[in-house]
Amino acid sequence: MHEVVVIGSGAGGGMAAYVLAHAGIKVLMLEAGPFFDPAKDSRQLEWPYQSLRRGGNATRAMGDFDAAYGGWEIDGEPYTQKGNSRFDWFRARMLGGRTNHWGRISLRMGPKDFKSRSSYGAGDDWPISYEDLKPYYDKVDRLIGVYGSNEGLENDPDGIFLPPPAPRLNELFIKKAATGLGIKVIPGRGSVLTAPLPGNKDRGQCFYCGQCNRTCKIYGDFSASSCLVIPAIKTGNLTVVTNALVREIITDSNGLATGVSYVSKDDMQEYAVRASTVVLAAGTCDSARILLNSKTAQHANGLSNSSNVVGKYLHDSTQTGGGAVLPQLMDRPRFNEDGVGSLHIYAPWWADKQKLDFPRGYHLELFGGLMMPTYGGYFGFEGSIVPFINGYIPDATGKMKASGGFGKSLKDDYRRFYGSMALVGCHGTDIAKETNYCEIDNSVVDKYGIPVLRFHYQWGEDELKQAKHMQETVQSVIKAMNGIPLVQAAGRENNFGLANPGKGIHEVGTVRMGDDPKRSVLNKWGQAHDCKNLFVTDGSVFVQQSEKNPTWTILALSMRTAEYILEQKQKQNI
């Protein structure tokens, strides 16, 4: 019998295990993928030519050096779509989950974000406020480390920040252009140690390779593996079982959780572990899947689903953007401009007080500089644009020529254009809807015989109007920089360039919190209304996301829930 079994080792599971193990609780963690320690397994500082595919995406969706094991599709673990939905589901099956490859953008949600219905007339209010979560955000800042700048903004709270990295050259042009349009551009906020983390001797200081997505050998950035799970193992109180894919949570005749059953990918045998408390943090969609697959007489609709909302209110960030070549940066000076692997600058939502035809906002992720020449990843090979765009900018002698070409003059164009790109990404709020959901597809099982998820997700009119605004913003910024746009502005016929839902990898909301057990799965502590020794600590607990990337909020919520579990255990309530 384990005191606590934690399902999942990402931000939510990792933080819960960290807090509980450090408080002396014996914890067992089940992780569906292999062990991964960035100190050993990171491919940091490898060169493109050390990869057969030069960093290409054939076996990893975000490039050969990217840390994520898994991707949009996993062999033997399908998912299906309902109607003409197209939800893209990114899964990282490995210790630390998706925190291994993420962009380390670490933003707090603001006071208005927790009260979306009251503030904006859209979505629902959370059962907690910013003030409830602020102490935990503060503790997460101190425990993990985040750079940024205190700006005193109303809905983008300040934090306990390490110094932010200075902008790259291209980013200064973007900043100049956006500022001129009335958009406030501030330093990025990212969980990278730009200075020593006070009180922590296990993690090194960032040496600016810009490769956080590969994970960091010296633990200079946040991954749940390096910063939470591995330190928790060192307490002697956490045991991790890897390659353990959870089938269901087991309950007794009273409806309480008694343990977890899983299949081991190592020997394909079935196992069950007993626990007095279960913490579920398999990731937003997998957590819903586990609950829905855990059906019993007491939980006929799936575990803790008397409300029938498990799987519903699935929502991801809206996402689009654009890029340009800056003619003023032809033959630009070379220097080491790798910087950090997170944002150097960004623009928090600036138009909250403007009259708009959609309720919620988005932020701009601004990027550009001398990237390592490579293939694959998010951007592919930067030079691929050169033979298309070299007809729009005069050559070194001031003459115009036709796009394309070959030979010495083309070779020279690749050099002239190198490092001249400026990118503007837009990441916004999707209003959570009951009609966007994942559910069990009873007609399809994965290779372990577990019924799979089916997705139903459509962008609403608010999201489309927001995306139109995003496109207009991107085009104005490009114009203000005198940039040459790399793609045409998207229109209504292609959803204003909105990426498929899921592509933001910010999906949340399928196991939402709330005060009303008829309309929510969890109470404000992340404890199941229908099953008091079951807690959920991943992004699924969100009521309504904001335009802020969710990881920092997941960490703060998980820490808060873990402390609540300790308190309830002390009181012998669970």
Pair type for strands 80-81 and 451-456? parallel
**3-state class of 133 per DSSP?**
helix
- Nearest-approach distance from CB 176 to another protein, in angstroms: 5
User: Applying CB under 8 A, does 165 fall inside the site for another protein?
Assistant: yes
Q: What angle do CA 245, 97, 528 make, to 5 degrees?
A: 65
DSSP-derived secondary structure letter, 572: T
The smaller minimum CB distance to another protein, of residues 391 and 491, is found at 391
Quick one: how far is CA 52 from the chain centroid? 28
User: Applying CB under 8 A, does 188 fall inside the site for another protein?
Assistant: no
User: Applying CB under 8 A, does 265 fall inside the site for another protein?
Assistant: no
CA 488 to each of CA 201, 215, 275, 464, 481: distance values in angstroms, whole numbers, following the listed order: 49, 34, 56, 17, 16
Segment contacting another protein by CB under 8 A, of 144-152, 285-293, 401-409, 536-544? 401-409
User: Applying CB under 8 A, does 54 fall inside the site for another protein?
Assistant: yes
What Rg, from alpha-carbon coordinates, does the chain have? 24
Only one residue has tokens 């050169």, namely 386
Among positions 14, 190, 210, 550, the unique one binding another protein when judged by CB under 8 A: 210
User: Applying CB under 8 A, does 414 fall inside the site for another protein?
Assistant: yes
Among positions 78, 405, 451, 485, the unique one binding another protein when judged by CB under 8 A: 405
CB-based contacts of 67, cutoff 8 Å, min separation 6: 36, 38, 41, 42, 43, 94, 100, 101, 213, 214, 215, 223
User: Applying CB under 8 A, does 542 fall inside the site for another protein?
Assistant: no
CA 237 to each of CA 20, 35, 202, 323, 574: distance values in angstroms, whole numbers, following the listed order: 9, 17, 19, 48, 19
* The pair of three-digit structure tokens given for residue 73, joined into one six-digit string: 């599709």
User: Applying CB under 8 A, does 403 fall inside the site for another protein?
Assistant: yes
The size of the interface with another protein (CB under 8 A), counted in residues, is: 70
User: Applying CB under 8 A, does 501 fall inside the site for another protein?
Assistant: no
Segment contacting another protein by CB under 8 A, of 166-174, 263-271, 292-300, 487-495? 166-174
What whole-number distance in Å separates Cα of residue 571 and Cα of residue 463? 45
CA 256 to each of CA 20, 180, 229: distance values in angstroms, whole numbers, following the listed order: 20, 59, 27
User: Applying CB under 8 A, does 213 fall inside the site for another protein?
Assistant: no
Do the Cβ atoms of 521 and 310 come closer than 8 Å?
yes
User: Applying CB under 8 A, does 364 fall inside the site for another protein?
Assistant: no
User: Applying CB under 8 A, does 168 fall inside the site for another protein?
Assistant: yes
Do the Cβ atoms of 533 and 256 come closer than 8 Å?
yes
Segment contacting another protein by CB under 8 A, of 3-11, 165-173, 312-320, 525-533? 165-173
User: Applying CB under 8 A, does 55 fall inside the site for another protein?
Assistant: yes
The smaller minimum CB distance to another protein, of residues 169 and 240, is found at 169
What whole-number distance in Å separates Cα of residue 378 and Cα of residue 196? 30
Among positions 146, 169, 224, 559, the unique one binding another protein when judged by CB under 8 A: 169
User: Applying CB under 8 A, does 410 fall inside the site for another protein?
Assistant: yes
- Nearest-approach distance from CB 210 to another protein, in angstroms: 7
What whole-number distance in Å separates Cα of residue 12 and Cα of residue 96? 10
The smaller minimum CB distance to another protein, of residues 70 and 157, is found at 70
User: Applying CB under 8 A, does 76 fall inside the site for another protein?
Assistant: no
What whole-number distance in Å separates Cα of residue 276 and Cα of residue 2? 7
User: Applying CB under 8 A, does 167 fall inside the site for another protein?
Assistant: yes
Only one residue has tokens 């050096």, namely 65
CB atoms within 10 A of CB 202: 12
User: Applying CB under 8 A, does 392 fall inside the site for another protein?
Assistant: no
Listed residue (571, 455, 559, 25) closest to 277, CA to CA: 25
In degrees and rounded to multiples of 5, residue 97 shows phi and psi of: 55, -135
Among positions 166, 181, 351, 396, the unique one binding another protein when judged by CB under 8 A: 166
User: Applying CB under 8 A, does 209 fall inside the site for another protein?
Assistant: yes
Residues in contact with another protein, shown as a per-residue x/- string from 333 to 362 under the rule CB under 8 A? xxxxxxxx----------------------
DSSP-derived secondary structure letter, 524: T
User: Applying CB under 8 A, does 268 fall inside the site for another protein?
Assistant: no
- Nearest-approach distance from CB 43 to another protein, in angstroms: 5
User: Applying CB under 8 A, does 324 fall inside the site for another protein?
Assistant: no
What whole-number distance in Å separates Cα of residue 397 and Cα of residue 385? 21
* The pair of three-digit structure tokens given for residue 347, joined into one six-digit string: 């623009």
Instruction: Name beta bridge partners: 361.
Output: none
Residues in contact with another protein, shown as a per-residue x/- string from 22 to 51 under the rule CB under 8 A? ------------x-x---xxxx-xxxxxxx
Do the Cβ atoms of 227 and 254 come closer than 8 Å?
no
User: Applying CB under 8 A, does 98 fall inside the site for another protein?
Assistant: no
User: Applying CB under 8 A, does 418 fall inside the site for another protein?
Assistant: yes
Binding footprint of another protein on the chain (CB under 8 A): 34, 36, 40-43, 45-56, 58-59, 67, 69, 75, 165-169, 172-173, 175-176, 179, 207-210, 328, 333-340, 370, 372-375, 381, 383-384, 386-388, 391, 402-408, 410-411, 414-415, 418
